[in-house]
Structure 1
Amino acid sequence: MSSRSSAAESFRSAHDAAFRAVATAVARLDVAAPRVLIDGRSGSGKTTLAARLSAEWPRAGERPQLVALDSLYPGWDGLEEGTRLAHEWLLVPHAAGIEGRWRRFDWDVQAFAEPHVVAPDRPLIVEGSGALTPAAAGLVHVAVWVDAPEPSRKARALERDGDTYAPHWDRWAAQEARHIETHDPRALADLVFDLL
């Protein structure tokens, strides 16, 4: 087995363990329409974890809604604004038991596009870099922080998004670093996973 395939297998194994831990925490919740938030730096595995949680939701009879901050960031300098919009458009209304509305940012035309509705009576998963702040932590039932060493994160992110992302890696990483310094999401998380 090559070192690359061995690393990929190790990542999958660690990711499987993380998924099981999150799914167990969600299954144990004694609330209706729970809110789960998954934060982490680019390439850490948070998007894959959120997608799997949505697809394999561990509570019978519920159909979760998944919103990625990638849909909210208004451009390559938009991490902080994406954080604010997720709080305002998604978490606050859902926690108040009212319908939330968010608009997808169209990166091609650099403007917000069609609206989407978030139903208050269905579980909500929010994932993305910058999602976990002190204000957000007070509104969710399970908060998750996912991390991994920069070389492996960068390799995964660039393999996924290639030439589109490569020129902006440092610019985005600086915004993630400011988020971590300002909000300390690791300390706010109920579950922390250091993947490979």
Structure 2
Amino acid sequence: MDHLDRRAAGLRALAPSCGPVRLVAVDGHAGSGKSTFTGRLAEALGGNIPVLHLDDLATHEELFGWTERVLSQVIGPLAAGRDAAYHPYDWNLRRFLAPRRLAAAPVVLVEGVGAGRRALRPHLAALLWMDRGAQESWARGRARDGAALSAFWDGWTAAETRHFSADPSRPFADALIRECREGYEWLPKPSETARSHHSVTHGEGSPPAY
């Protein structure tokens, strides 16, 4: 069993946090490698793991204004033990599409900038933070998307900075994920702030610290 497989086994062993589901969030700056890591983690968890990409719930006008959609379309049904059905946003057509099913599996991954935001943390079994700085992450994202999306990135980086200034995720992470030449390094939580957070949310029926 390799390192990521062992970590995946640890996630599966956590207590359910959202109805019967262990909801695991992967947060970090845009361009930090969240999607790639989440894909690797899903494989380590067994391959057939439901993944919610928060890009599917954001819009051009509401880059970070998707909280109510997540709570009503995803968290509510999962907490009740039902499969969720959310409307993914089409970034080319600029409209929401037909509902997409998200199974109430034992482990569900939610990936995206702001996945560890204040409103979602009480429903998480674990919060993982991609440990790559903002400037490096954004440079990677810009290089990936090319000059055609330069204006979008200008608006995005400003919006992301405002979001994390008002509602940071990293201090509450249960682990930092650092990409290495061969795989990923899984580092301890960044500060005792996370312990304080969990001590409060436990009283509200939230999952144990990871």
Aligning the two structures, in what range does the TM-score lie when normalised by the shorter sequence? Answer: 0.7 to 0.9
TM-score normalized with structure 1 length:
0.77
Give the letter for the 1:56 counterpart.
A
Give the letter for the 2:34 counterpart.
K
Q: CA deviation at 1:81?
A: 1.8
Cα displacement string for residues 27-61 of structure 1 (whole angstroms, at most 9, x for unaligned residues):
43254542111111111111111111112216xxx
**What is the CA–CA distance in structure 2 between the aligned matches of 1:135 and 1:21, rounded to whole Å?**
29
Q: CA deviation at 1:184?
A: 1.7
Instruction: Report the equivalent of 1:86.
Output: 70
Moved more, 88-97 or 166-175: 88-97
Instruction: Report the equivalent of 1:73.
Output: 58
Greater share of helix residues, 1 or 2? 1
Moved more, 47-56 or 78-87: 78-87
> Gaps (5+ residues) in structure 1?
1-15
Instruction: Report the equivalent of 2:170.
Output: 186
**What is the CA–CA distance in structure 1 between the aligned matches of 2:111 and 2:155, rounded to whole Å?**
20
Moved over 6 A (4+): none
**What is the CA–CA distance in structure 2 between the aligned matches of 1:40 and 1:149, rounded to whole Å?**
9
> Gaps (5+ residues) in structure 2?
181-210
Instruction: Check whether the contact 2:32–2:132 (CA below 8 A) recurs between aligned residues.
Output: yes
Cα displacement string for residues 46-102 of structure 1 (whole angstroms, at most 9, x for unaligned residues):
1111111112216xxx83101111122111x42222344223322332123122111
Instruction: Check whether the contact 2:12–2:106 (CA below 8 A) recurs between aligned residues.
Output: no
Instruction: Report the equivalent of 2:99.
Output: 115
TM-score normalized with structure 2 length:
0.72
Instruction: Report the equivalent of 1:38.
Output: 26
Give the letter for the 2:97 counterpart.
A
**What is the CA–CA distance in structure 2 between the aligned matches of 1:194 and 1:170, rounded to whole Å?**
26
**What is the CA–CA distance in structure 1 between the aligned matches of 2:160 and 2:7, rounded to whole Å?**
23
Identity level (%): 28
Give the letter for the 2:84 counterpart.
G
Q: Of the two structures, which has the highest relative contact order with CA contacts closer than 8 Å and spacing of 6 or more?
A: 1
**What is the CA–CA distance in structure 2 between the aligned matches of 1:176 and 1:22, rounded to whole Å?**
29
Instruction: Check whether the contact 1:158–1:166 (CA below 8 A) recurs between aligned residues.
Output: yes
